[in-house]
């Protein structure tokens, strides 16, 4: 963008004019920088066995990365071999953690729930679990099964799952009012999503210290924050009155 400094149609004199231009540029920089910094502060990544062994202490040194979603399960029987290590070490490094299950159209919601329940433990999660519905499901998604799995996950973890998918699948299956209360996690590597979203996976070829090769990066919509997808705080247990010390 080019700036042409003029006053009442006349070009500014050389003396003092450059100072005004500099002040204008500084003002614009400070106006725009909070948005840029805000976007950086809410970056996250998602990882799986394909990243191999991760040095989480190095990852956490990048102050722009504040959270991570970790692949846990897929379908009825697949469990990510690196899940337990990733979830515990990322949490220990100070990152907020969440888990995701990759949906399969070949097995029932109850079978898939049985798999993810074994691995994704409620007390280990900072963020709501994600149901990962990949783009190849476009046009042929069995929605009764999806709805049942969403229901079972909400019952198990006490929060509505986040729905991860492509824009095409979102438009085909999740754009109705029925899913208005679900947070949407859109994967789009070509540009800003044209659908509603809370989370945006904007690249699959990101790089950060502590991870060899590529990693997916995530941004949060400017109208949302991590608090929108955090796990609910556990309710305090009711106090049980101790009657043993009372006089008979």
Tell me the domain boundaries of the chain.
39-229
Among 208, 110, 199, smallest CA distance to 152 is for 110
What pLDDT is recorded for position 146? 97
What pLDDT is recorded for position 233? 82
User: Torsion angle, CA of 154/159/160/161, rounded to 10 degrees?
Assistant: -80
CA 191 – CA 187 distance, rounded (Å) = 10
Asked whether the whole model's pTM tops 0.75, one would answer yes
Q: DSSP E strands: which ranges in 103-248?
A: 130-132, 162-166, 184-187, 199-206, 215-220
What pLDDT is recorded for position 80? 98
CA separation, residue 180 to residues 129, 189, 226, 240 (Å)? 17, 24, 18, 40
What pLDDT is recorded for position 238? 67
User: Class assignment of domain 39-229?
Assistant: alpha beta
What pLDDT is recorded for position 246? 55
The model's pLDDT over 64-96, given as tens digits with 9 standing for 90+, comes to 999 999 999 999 999 999 999 999 999 999 999
CA 243 – CA 57 distance, rounded (Å) = 49
CA separation, residue 179 to residues 145, 174, 221 (Å)? 15, 6, 18
What pLDDT is recorded for position 231? 97
What pLDDT is recorded for position 18? 47
Q: Using the Cα atoms of residue 161, residue 166, residue 170 and residue 172 in order, give the sign of their dihedral.
A: negative
Per-residue buried b or exposed e for 160-191, using 16+ beta carbons within 10 Å of the residue's own CB: bbbbbbbbebbebbbeeeebeebbbbbbbeee
Walk along the chain (248 residues) in steps of 10 and give the mean pLDDT of each run.
40 48 43 39 90 97 96 97 98 98 95 97 98 82 94 98 97 96 97 97 96 97 96 76 56
């Amino acid at each position: 963008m080019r700036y042409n400094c003029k006053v009442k149609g006349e070009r500014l004199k050389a003396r003092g004019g450059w100072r005004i231009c500099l002040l204008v540029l500084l003002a614009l920089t400070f106006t725009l920088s909070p948005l840029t910094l805000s976007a950086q502060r809410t970056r996250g990544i998602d990882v799986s066995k394909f990243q191999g062994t991760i040095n989480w202490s190095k990852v956490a040194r990048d102050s722009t990365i504040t959270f991570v979603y970790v692949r846990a399960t897929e379908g009825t029987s697949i469990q990510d071999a690196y899940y337990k290590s990733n979830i515990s070490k990322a949490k220990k490094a100070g990152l907020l953690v969440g888990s995701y299950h990759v949906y399969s159209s070949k097995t029932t919601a109850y079978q898939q729930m049985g798999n993810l329940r074994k691995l994704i433990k409620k007390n280990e999660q900072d963020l709501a679990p994600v149901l990962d519905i990949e783009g190849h499901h476009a046009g042929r998604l069995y929605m009764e099964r999806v709805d049942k799995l969403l229901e079972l996950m909400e019952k198990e973890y006490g929060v509505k799952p986040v729905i991860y998918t492509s824009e095409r699948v979102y438009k085909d299956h999740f754009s109705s009012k029925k899913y208005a209360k679900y947070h949407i996690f859109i994967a789009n590597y070509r540009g800003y999503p044209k659908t509603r979203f809370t989370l945006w996976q904007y690249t699959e070829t990101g790089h950060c210290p502590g991870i060899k090769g590529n990693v997916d990066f995530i941004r949060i919509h400017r109208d949302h924050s991590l608090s929108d997808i955090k796990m609910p705080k556990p309710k305090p247990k009711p106090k049980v009155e101790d009657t043993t010390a009372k006089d008979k």
